[in-house]
Structure 1
Amino acid sequence: MTSTLTPGFDTAALLSRSGARVSPAGGFGPAATDIPADAIRLLGGVPANEALPVEHLERAFAATLRDPATSAAALQYSTAPGIEALRDWVAAHEGTSVDRVLVTNGALHGLSLTFAALLDPGDVVAVESPTFPLTLRLLGHYGAQPVPVPVSREGLDLDSFEQRLRAGLRPKLLYLIPDFQNPTGTTLSPADRDRAVALGERYGFVVVSDNPYRDLRFAGEMVPDLNLDSDATVRVNTFSKTLGPGLRLGWLAAPPWLLPALTRLRANTDQHSALLTQTAVARLLHTPDVFDTVVTDARALYRERATALTDALRAELSDAVEFDDPEGGIFLWARATDPDVDLAAVRLRAQSLGTDFALGRYFDPEGAIHYTDRFRLGFSNIAPEDLRTAVSRIAAAFASH
């Protein structure tokens, strides 16, 4: 169907400033072209099909719709914070009280509500550098100005950040991915988590912990999340990486002063998350040992795939790239050791061979300037044999450049 504009109809004047705004930051770069349909794509943060609890969810939804106490009720309207059974589980999982929990449609929705409650156009937001591109796009939507705080294998550079605070920098919030940071895979130390919150309390900004990979640790020791006893801490999380992104279900854990604004904004937009989904997922979560079994199995699967990837990289690209072995999460962050290698050209060649990966430059909050020697490999939804094939193709692409 062909659409034509009515003569004299000024569409530019009709769009709001928000609707017309296109953020220059965010996104993963141009879409791949001329790539085989069956290419191995080491790209997004997609959970493995094998790790998703399909049968458990099938039983939970069926039981919800068969149970006279929940069947029709689960198809009705609900309240903005979410149902008590789900919020009870989240509160226990987060180690906080239920009155600090708000159910959301995933983590990005939780971030959007938080940004809407806190940010005005022009507000400064400190972000890890590199960081998740879609958060940069969301900050652009709210007109915020990102300020980078460098991340390295040694952790977040809080020394330089504190120096800037002392010099007068006043961010509205600090955005962090504390566990298996996207894209670097680093985990923020307990001392740095406490220090970040202390800086927020001292200089009057909120510290947002976006932690979707936290339950997927398959090596090393679990680290406590940011302290929710502080009025400066907000935690955002999701079931997307454990139960499945198609559920569109996550949560916020926030201080009492912020909950009314978050709840009001939630009620004014979509009212509440799907009640049937909330009820069925709560039933699954309250079934003994089910969630623990799901994440335990996922950790084992991702450990196997991370090992397949790192072994293949060492076998085929040991002189060309360097990286740290992942201890959890679903990504590996690698660096090309030859400063003259053009990773964009390597990627194009790899695409022509049937493999794709994410260039590091697109994780730069300053606009695809830095990290030109870095790339991110996602391994969660790729079988070990395909990971080995993909690395062979990437090695061939490196060799040709």
Structure 2
Amino acid sequence: MMRIRKLFFIFLCFWQYAGAQGNDEIIVIPPGSTVNLHASSRGAFYYQWFRNGEAVNDATGDTYAVVLEGIYTVVSFNVDGCSSEISNEVEVRFSDDSSPPPDGESDQYFCMLYHPVIADIKVTGINITWYDAPREGHVLPGNHPLEEGVTYYASQSPEAGGNESGERLAVTVFPDVCPDLAVTKEVDDPRPLIDRPVNFTVRVANKTPIAIRDIVIVDRLPSGYAYISHWSDKGTYNASSGTWVIPVLPGDETGELQVRATVLFREDYVNVARLSTSDPRDTDETNNRAEAATSPRCLTVYNLFSPNEDGNNDTFRIDCIENYPENQLRVYNRYGNLVFKQKGYDNSWKGSSNIKNTISRNGMLPVGTYYYVLDLGDGSKPVSGWLYIMR
């Protein structure tokens, strides 16, 4: 905003005499405005303006446009270099009642694929006006295309017809940054046992510096698993629909979801996670899908058996134990005492004890609950659980 204030400094400059007359004055203008100070002196050939006692470079005309606060004075010179006395002081102050600048991030990112324009820059304010310079400059329309690395300047006028904000918000734009979310998935045990739990971990990484909102990841458990529980560090997961919703994922951050499930005796063990939607829309579809699969091992432990020689369920049976010839079975009573052990177990145990000092009748363990630890001998974690002997 340009304001003109004509101030007449009267200087008398002669060969032997120089004088000045005028009154001290204070001028108050809105921040960002300009006021023109004008000097007049008979016989003046040129002038020199001063701000706070320091000469202003290239300020030698009879008019000086003031854009900074300070105390201004001027001296005139005639053709012979004779100077007048220094003029009266004029103080220029910025007022406190101008509108503040709008709010917004100083660096903002956009994607050229969406043809961003001035109106796409996110600021908070009323009656926003965009310029190409921090002061004065040209007004830019809302449909002006954004250019890489260019800084634009925004002012606001909260009241219709009121003063614009003296200071302008500077926003530098980077329109060559397109949103990209990358989905990955893994499972903690790719060779689990049937009826044992596994943990799936899904991660979605924001590969760009811009925040991405309303992210929906679809991650439904296939029929080969039964849901147990879940945990996530961002957003919410609905186990029934298999959707993970993240309201906002800041730039260069990663969200994580963990789903715990039991492995069932089914044939569908490929677990897929994929990006469904986001705002703004993801521009690289090559990393929007990930999967993790298991190859369950055949091993079913039957917890109850009745060694009564009736030919029905007389031994402690483990399906597929023959696939693990290096296995070792240990059985403990409820007091934690070892009562039976066998290397290379072959489904032949009928509830007897082969450990000395075991409480038994004719070598047979009493009815009750016992605990087993089965090391398959293949480097995997031992399998443990309970069993019950009936008579």
**What TM-score bracket applies, with the shorter chain setting the length?**
under 0.3
Give the structure, 1 or 2, with the largest relative contact order (CA under 8 Å, sep 6 or more): 1
Q: TM-score, normalised by structure 2?
A: 0.18
Structure in which a larger fraction of residues adopt helix: 1
Structure in which a larger fraction of residues adopt strand: 2
Higher CA-based Rg? 2
Q: TM-score, normalised by structure 1?
A: 0.18
